[in-house]
């Protein structure tokens, strides 16, 4: 005995998915993006403030889609001449970086 046809479950799942907001819709900080090897796009959503990250592979073309500033560095451990990016600002696509800190204090 079947109570609900499979179509009902599919449609109810779709309705539930549309009713629940996605993480991107309620993101407080935004998204940091950059290009990695072979020009593959990478994204980091809502990174913690004032925390430095070393990039594990080639990284270039940083784009600050956050609501806070960020700083990229040419060397690991946030060393070298910093490049400051305001919210909405991007570095040139060929500008390489090895570390980044979000909303530095």
pLDDT in tens, 59-80: 999 999 999 999 999 999 999 9
Residue numbers of the domain that contains 77? 30-102
Quick one: pLDDT band at residue 29, thresholds 50, 70, 90?
A: confident
Higher pLDDT, 3 or 83: 83
Instruction: Give me the chain's average pLDDT, please.
Output: 80
Q: Is 87 exposed, middle or buried (0-12, 13-18, 19+ CB in 10 A)?
A: middle
When pLDDT is averaged across residues 24-28 and rounded to a whole number, the result is 36
| Tally of domains within the chain | 1
Q: What is the CATH number of the domain that holds 71?
A: 2.60.20
| Residue 54 forms part of a structural domain | yes
Asked, for residue 97, whether it belongs to a domain, the answer is yes
Does residue 10 fall inside a structural domain? Answer: no
Compute the chain's Rg from CA coordinates.
19
16 within some domain:
no
At residue 72, φ and ψ (nearest 5 deg) are -105, 155
- Of residues 27 and 76, the one with the higher pLDDT is 76
State the pLDDT at residue 28. 41
SS3 16: helix
User: Has residue 67 been placed in a domain?
Assistant: yes
In a domain, 24, yes or no: no
């Amino acid at each position: 005995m079947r109570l609900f046809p499979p179509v009902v479950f599919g449609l109810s799942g779709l309705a539930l998915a549309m009713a629940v907001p996605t993480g991107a819709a309620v993101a407080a900080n935004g998204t940091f993006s950059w290009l990695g090897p072979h020009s593959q796009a990478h994204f980091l959503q809502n990174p913690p403030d004032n925390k430095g990250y070393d990039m594990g592979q080639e990284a270039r073309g940083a784009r600050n889609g956050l609501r806070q500033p960020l700083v990229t560095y040419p060397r690991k451990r946030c060393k070298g001449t910093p490049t400051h990016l305001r919210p909405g600002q991007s570095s040139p696509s060929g500008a390489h970086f090895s570390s980044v800190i979000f909303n530095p204090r």
